Amino acid sequence: MSRNARINTLLLLLVAALAVIPLALGLGDHKEEPFAGADGEAETAITEIDPDYEPWFSPLYEPPSGEIESALFALQAALGAGVLAYYFGLRRGRRQGEARAREAAGAQDADAGVPTGADGGRD
């Protein structure tokens, strides 16, 4: 593995560790509902501060079940990951194509004994 790939893997492992450590140490055990969403906890805090508060508007559409909700969250993540993967794949393909074109041009120029017009600046 190259040094670059090692650093990137290390970054991913660190993120995974940050997510796993609270679970592994059972840091949610003191709660009635361990690892609930902070957004929901804020709603509870609001009703503690102001027990009379009634939300005056409700969502136009609400996923009918937790499964549908998680499906839509997965869809959101998949859309984002898909676009990111497309971007990096396209970039990599372009760089490889350009490198090959340069090699081919270099070989031709060498055959013909023509000095190469260097243009390495283009990405």
Partner 1 sequence: MHIAEGFLPPAHAVAWGVASAPFVVHGARSLVRDVREHPESTLLLGASGAFTFVLSALKLPSVTGSCSHPTGTGLGAILFRPPVMAVLGTITLLFQALLLAHGGLTTLGANVFSMAVVGPWAGYGVYRLLRRYGVPLMGAVFCGAFAADLSTYCVTSVQLALAFPDPGSGFLGALGKFGSIFAVTQIPLAVSEGLLTVLVMRLLVQSSRGELTRLGVLVTSVGGGKRAESAEAVAR
Residue of 1, 6, 14, 114 interacting with partner 1 (CB under 8 A): 14
Contact 46, 53 (CB under 8 A): yes
Cα 70 off chain centre by: 17
Residue of 87, 100, 107, 110 interacting with partner 1 (CB under 8 A): 87
* Distance from C-alpha of 75 to C-alpha of 63, rounded to nearest angstrom: 13
Closest CB 65 distance from partner 1, rounded Å: 12
Number of residues that bind partner 1 (CB under 8 A): 62
Residue of 77, 101, 105, 110 interacting with partner 1 (CB under 8 A): 77
Nearer CB in complex with partner 1: 31/100? 31
- The answer to whether 111 contacts partner 1 (rule: CB under 8 A) is no
* Distance from C-alpha of 81 to C-alpha of 75, rounded to nearest angstrom: 10
Residues with Cβ within 8 Å of residue 22, at least 6 apart in sequence: 28, 35
- The answer to whether 84 contacts partner 1 (rule: CB under 8 A) is yes
Can you read off the two tokens belonging to residue 91?
A: 């970039």
Distances (CA, A) of 89 to 94, 95, 96, 115: 9, 10, 11, 33
- The answer to whether 1 contacts partner 1 (rule: CB under 8 A) is no
Q: What are the residues binding partner 1 (CB under 8 A)?
A: 4, 7-8, 11-12, 14-15, 18-19, 21-23, 27-31, 34-39, 41-43, 45-46, 49-50, 53, 55-63, 69, 72-74, 76-77, 79-84, 87-88, 90-92, 95, 120-123
